[in-house]
Amino acid sequence: MRAVLVLNGPNLGRLGSREPDVYGAHSFEDLVVLCEEAGRGLGLAVEVRQTDDEAEMVKWIHEAADRRTPVVLNPAAFTHYSYALRDAIAQRTAPLVEVHISNPNAREEFRHTSVVAAVATGTIAGFGFQSYVLALRAIAEGES
């Protein structure tokens, strides 16, 4: 099975209690189970991680690049300002799909700009947790 990293940025570990009107009532643990099960169904070995630390996220992106591992990335707040993350993603050696649970373009204006989108393979946003499933499917289908 092809390994895939599903990486999540700041505050996503608080899913279920964090703004449920925006992010839904399901927990981060629910997201982990969904991604692992969806991955298995697509022939992917999915590892889900979450960090509130920008440096750790950059390290994980470097790890993925070194191993040629595809990534599903929800950069969360890093989306809008992390040029360090953007530059790490630019070094990718496998597909990287940016995902968002909500639709950033339907929210506050500061969320309308993604500094990472231009170096991602693609972006999927606004479909709740299904954004991750769609991204995993895109990676799996791109491998065939």
Residue 106: predicted pLDDT: 59
pLDDT number for residue 25:
65
What would the two tokens of residue 38 be?
């969806």
| Residue 23 CB coordination number (10 Å) | 19
The reported pLDDT for the residue numbered 144 is: 41
Q: Give the pLDDT score at 15.
A: 67
Annotated binding site: 74, 80, 87, 101-102, 111
Element (H, E) at 17: none
pTM of this structure: 0.90
**Segment holding 96, helix H or strand E:** strand 96-100
* Mean pLDDT, 10 residues at a time, the chain of 144 residues: 96 72 75 98 98 98 98 94 96 97 73 88 95 98 70
- Is 62 annotated in the active site? no
Domain boundaries in the chain?
Answer: 2-143
CATH 3.40.50.9100 assigned to domain 2-143? The reply is yes
User: Could you give the CA distance from residue 81 to residue 104 in angstroms, rounded to a whole number?
Assistant: 14
* Residue stretches of the annotated binding site for substrate: 74, 80, 87, 101-102, 111
132 counts as catalytic: no
